[in-house]
Homo-oligomer: A and B are copies of this chain.
Amino acid sequence: MGKRFDGAQSASRSAPRSAGRWEEHRARFEAYLEGLVFSEEPRLETLVEAMRYSMLGGGKRVRPTLCMEVAEVFGAEPGLVLPSAAAIELIHTYSLIHDDLPAMDDDDFRRGRPTVHKKYGEAMAILAGDAFFGESLTLITVYQEGSSEQVLEVVRELAGSTGVNGMVGGQVIDMDQTGVGGAADPETLRMIHIYKTGALIKSSARIGAILAGAGEDEQAAVSEYAMEMGLCFQIVDDVLNATSTREALGKSAGSDAEQGKATFVGVYGLDGAKREADEAAEKALRALSTVDGDTSGLEELALFVRHRAN
């Protein structure tokens, strides 16, 4: 099915007709995550506790619920993709733990609580992050249903979005630009976000499509949707960081500006950044127009991401 982007709709803040769908994905996902047992070895109790502290800390779960929703769009039962969706969230969690470290962004708070290294020490934070990578692969290779080709494709997708040309490379460029602030060039800024967050969000959608048996064109369409939606998410994050209070955001407000980070607000100004966010949301919705399936849930997500308040 798919719909053309409707500007008026994007301004609407009324409850979407199927808001419950995302809540349902999220509840199923939280229950699945809560049930993961990494080890019952007493000597590893603190490691497992640190991992659970970080992964059950109340994230938005954008990536795993996106993966579930895309699977449903292409006719799969969303529960099918839970192991891979959890793997994605664990990788995302590991990146947050490492990014918060004193040698990196040096953040003391995350989602309104002390960061992992503040609570468990730096060594345990590094190791909890490292452990998530192996555990995410176990989730995929041991628990994910599907043909060997499909499951292998899931790993291949994550390989690309988490290494040098994905999440890690994005963080490197981001740190390299710290201090540059508003003087960052738009191309570098875009690259930071496509690598650092866009790649894994894109993979979340693509993995849902792969496991549901969608074709190449359909995979490409939801990949583009997710990349633009992820960019929109990041731009809105910059806007919120520049304008929100710590209470509303659950982390240090204005910390990007303090650190001289390259942000969309710094490069485009507040109004310019909002226009960039609108454009990304529009592109995300346009990408869905070729998809043959009920994409209303994905449209809602793009609009939610554009207009979220925290």
CA of A137 to CA of B134, assembled, Å: 11
Partner of A173, one of B38, B43, B173: B43
A148 touches B152 (CB 8 A): yes
The residue on B at minimum CB distance from A95 is B130
B122 touches A135 (CB 8 A): no
Q: Which residues of B contact A134 (CB under 8 A)?
A: 158-164, 166-168
Q: Which residues of B contact A48 (CB under 8 A)?
A: 164
Partner of A155, one of B39, B101, B141, B162: B141
Give the residues from 149 to 207 in chain A that come closer than 8 angstroms, CB to CB, to chain B.
149, 151-152, 155-156, 158-169, 171-173, 175-176, 188, 191
Number of copies: 2
B124 touches A138 (CB 8 A): no
Q: Of residues A48, A121, A147, A156, which shows the largest number of chain B Cβ atoms within 10 Å of its Cβ?
A: A156
Partner of A172, one of B44, B133, B160, B168: B44
A101 touches B124 (CB 8 A): no
Q: Is the CB of A127 closer than 8 A to any CB of chain B?
A: yes
Q: Is the CB of A11 closer than 8 A to any CB of chain B?
A: no
Q: Is the CB of A27 closer than 8 A to any CB of chain B?
A: no
Q: Which residues of B contact A173 (CB under 8 A)?
A: 43-44
CA of A285 to CA of B123, assembled, Å: 37
B138 touches A126 (CB 8 A): no
A127 touches B171 (CB 8 A): yes
B159 touches A38 (CB 8 A): no
Q: Which residues of B contact A51 (CB under 8 A)?
A: 164
Interface of A is mostly: helix
B47 touches A130 (CB 8 A): no
Known: A123-B103, A164-B38, A168-B127. A141 touches B152 (CB 8 A): yes
A164 touches B47 (CB 8 A): yes
Partner of A103, one of B126, B131, B188, B191: B126
Known: A47-B169, A126-B104. A163 touches B135 (CB 8 A): yes
Task: Categorize the interface residue count of chain A.
Answer: 35 or more
The residue on B at minimum CB distance from A199 is B134
The residue on B at minimum CB distance from A132 is B163
Q: Is the CB of A41 closer than 8 A to any CB of chain B?
A: yes
The residue on B at minimum CB distance from A150 is B148
CA of A165 to CA of B44, assembled, Å: 9
Partner of A142, one of B159, B166, B175: B159
CA of A255 to CA of B162, assembled, Å: 35
Partner of A159, one of B138, B148, B169: B138
Nearest-CB distance from A105 to chain B (Å)?
9
B164 touches A44 (CB 8 A): yes
Contact string against B for A residues 230-256, beta-carbon threshold 8 Å, 1 for contact and 0 otherwise = 000000000000000000000000000
CA of A172 to CA of B124, assembled, Å: 8
Contact string against B for A residues 92-106, beta-carbon threshold 8 Å, 1 for contact and 0 otherwise = 001100100101100
Partner of A163, one of B133, B152, B160: B133
Q: Is the CB of A310 closer than 8 A to any CB of chain B?
A: no
